[in-house]
Amino acid sequence: MGIDRVTLRPLDEELLQALLAAAVADADPREVMPPVEGPSGWTALRRQAFLRFHRLRSLSDEPVETTYAIVVRETVVGAARLAPHKETDTVEAGVWIGRSLRGCGVGAAVLRHLLEAARADGAQRLVASTHIDNIPAQRLLTAAGGDLSQHDATTVIAWVPLQSPWGSPS
């Protein structure tokens, strides 16, 4: 799948509804949002929490991050975000992609877009964390010039300089 088929669109209310639909159809709630008490699966309470989470984080009057809908051929398939990090000139990235499109090149295209957006905003490096078992994400972050280190028993952290091959202007 070419990068031209994958776009990031800043989240708005309309895209938020499509994002929820994508999450319900193609992701486990634990993969895409903070934990919510109750039975597993996409309960009404969990769906409301998903919407509330994104409204507070990125659609409020004072957003703490920029969230993008990942769009493939006009269909929302996941979300990507950039947030200020406590380290100067650094942004934190996060991504989830629906299960049916994992391993199809969407993640690489999304990472390229996030690196471009971070650089355009003046950041000097990007940090991302992933599960220790998420080898495809670790490979993408390494290919982008990331320096990986194990943070704890379950988490790997990657620091990607924006002058890396993927992060630098072509």
CATH of the domain at 138: 3.40.630.30
The pLDDT tens digits of the residues spanning 129-145 come to 999 999 999 999 999 99
- Residues 95-152 have pLDDT tens digits of 999 999 998 899 999 999 999 999 999 999 999 999 999 999 999 999 999 999 988 8
Q: Is residue 140 part of a domain?
A: yes
Domain assignment present for residue 166? The answer is: no
* pLDDT band (50, 70, 90) for residue 87: confident
Residue 164, pLDDT above cutoff 60: no
Amino acid sitting at position 121: D
Query: Does residue 136 sit within a domain?
Result: yes
What pLDDT, on the 0 to 100 scale, is given for residue 11? 97
Does residue 170 belong to any structural domain of this protein? no
The total domain count for the chain is: 1
Query: Is residue 168 domain-resident?
Result: no
Residue 66 lies in a domain: yes
Cα–Cα nearest to 70, from 40, 41, 107: 107
What pTM value is reported for the model? 0.90
Contact criterion met (CB below 8 Å) for 160 and 145: yes
* Average pLDDT, integer, range 12-39: 95
Range of the domain at 146: 3-161
Average pLDDT over residues 51-64: 96
